[in-house]
Amino acid sequence: MIREFEHGGNIYEPAPDGEAWLDFSANINPLGLPSSVRNVLAREWGQVIHYPDPQGRELKTAIGTFYQVPTGNVILGNGAAELLYLFFHALRPRTVLLPVPSFNEYERAALAGNAGVKYFFMTATTVFDLDVLRLLPAMEGADCLVLGNPNNPTGNLLDREKVETIVAHAAKKNMTVIVDESFLDFRKDRESYTAFPLIRQYDNLFIIQSLTKFYALPGLRLGFGIGNQTLLSLLEKHKDVWNVNVLAQKAGAAALADSGYQSLSRSFIESAGDHFVSLLQKIPHLHIYPRTVNFLFFAWMTDAINAEMLSLHMKKNHILIRDCSNYPALDSTFFRIAVRKKEENIRLFEKLKDYINSF
């Protein structure tokens, strides 16, 4: 059984027969490391004899240029998750409201900061959409709200108008809103959803974003946050001065300048994702929720199968998937898989089909 706060499959765990895992549990760009990043890592590896730039000037400039935000509103993180822990450590909110299901590091980070956690349940009957009108009164008494946009594991999106409604209401309650946009770069219409433009108007908004998912850099750990300068000044005082290493800073700057990789990735995910869904629709008793980014969210509509059973079966075939039964508001019928390359997606589909046919 998957444990509380446990993530997807562990590729470092020995696989059957010593064969490498095919990892559908981690939502990483299947195109892999951009060649621009490979080149800069090969060129700059010798720089590890120096301490990293504590101000991250080159990377912050690249972020500011790409996302059209002032560099003074940018803080760098050793992954977006570090910024969650940093926020809760520095600000110590008493009560954090979490719409669930959502990424379990939100709760883990809040608890690490000794905050109380209050759930706002989204349900399968409403396709896990966040009902803003129902959320607003539920915000009463909380100091902080954390939103995933798109949400992980459901993939649900909030347009900027809905996010602003929430942030504006929170401002009246002296409440901070954290918005996690870590998967938004996978969308061609990112500008319709990002809350970045709201930073100029709302001091109670803090946006975090990972660079490791879209640019396939999870082993380097790289992310950033956008917020008002007073908040960022406080956070800077609580973090390690050299929290982002030399190679990660160089890799991030190179990745953000690689427009060809960005365009190709979005088109690839759209095409591969649609093809994958068309295959999986052939599987009986499988409910597929709408795909918005580079992962798919499912529920079994039969009592004969659950996510734990499926996960164990797939492991025997060297495939890792994400059992979602440890997410609040979900049960053992739910699971999530990443969109990978076509031949890999077909392999999972065939194994899944064989498993269903065995019943």
Whole-number pLDDT of residue 303: 87
3-state secondary structure of 118: strand
* pLDDT tens, the chain, 359 aa long: 556 656 666 888 887 787 889 999 999 999 999 999 999 999 999 999 999 999 999 999 999 999 999 999 999 999 999 999 999 999 999 999 999 999 999 999 999 999 999 999 999 999 999 999 999 999 999 999 999 999 999 999 999 999 999 999 999 999 999 999 999 999 999 999 999 999 999 999 999 999 999 999 999 999 999 999 999 999 999 999 999 999 999 999 999 999 999 999 999 999 999 999 999 999 999 999 999 999 999 999 988 888 889 999 999 999 999 999 999 999 999 999 999 999 999 999 999 999 988 87
How many angstroms separate the CA atoms of 74 and 59, rounded?
Answer: 10
Multiple choice CATH, 35-257, 3.40.50.11270, 3.10.129.10, 3.40.640.10, 3.40.50.300: 3.40.640.10
Q: Say which residues have a Cβ less than 8 Å from residue 25's Cβ, sequence separation at least 6.
A: 7, 8, 9, 320, 321, 322, 336, 337, 338
Whole-number pLDDT of residue 19: 85
Q: Could you tell me the sign of the dihedral formed by the alpha carbons of 111, 60, 263, 41, in that order? A: negative
Give the pairing type, strands 205-210 and 223-226. antiparallel
How many angstroms separate the CA atoms of 132 and 128, rounded?
Answer: 12
Smallest CA-to-CA distance from 28 within 248, 211, 254, 244 is with 211
How many angstroms separate the CA atoms of 273 and 257, rounded?
Answer: 25
How many angstroms separate the CA atoms of 112 and 91, rounded?
Answer: 12
- The partner residues of 75 in beta bridges, in order of sequence, read 225
Q: Which amino acid belongs to residue 348?
A: L
Q: Could you tell me the sign of the dihedral formed by the alpha carbons of 159, 160, 161, 163, in that order? A: positive
Give the pairing type, strands 176-180 and 144-148. parallel
Whole-number pLDDT of residue 10: 80
Multiple choice CATH, 22-32+260-357, 3.40.30.10, 3.90.1150.10, 2.60.120.200, 1.10.3720.10: 3.90.1150.10
How many angstroms separate the CA atoms of 228 and 232, rounded?
Answer: 6
Whole-number pLDDT of residue 6: 61
Smallest CA-to-CA distance from 195 within 233, 146, 238 is with 146
Helical ranges in the chain per DSSP H: 35-44, 57-67, 80-91, 104-112, 132-138, 160-172, 229-238, 246-256, 259-280, 307-316, 342-357
Token readout for 116 is 């109380």
Q: Which amino acid belongs to residue 27?
A: N
Domains 22-32+260-357 and 35-257 share a fold: no
Q: Say which residues have a Cβ less than 8 Å from residue 282's Cβ, sequence separation at least 6.
A: 353
Please count the other Cβ atoms lying within 10 Å of the Cβ belonging to residue 192: 12
Q: What is the dihedral of CA 112, 113, 117, 120, to 10 degrees?
A: -100
Smallest CA-to-CA distance from 307 within 86, 63, 9, 51 is with 9
Domain edges within the chain? 22-32+260-357, 35-257
Whole-number pLDDT of residue 73: 98
Give the pairing type, strands 295-300 and 319-320. unpaired
> What end-to-end distance do the CA atoms of the chain give, in Å?
22
Q: Which amino acid belongs to residue 336?
A: R
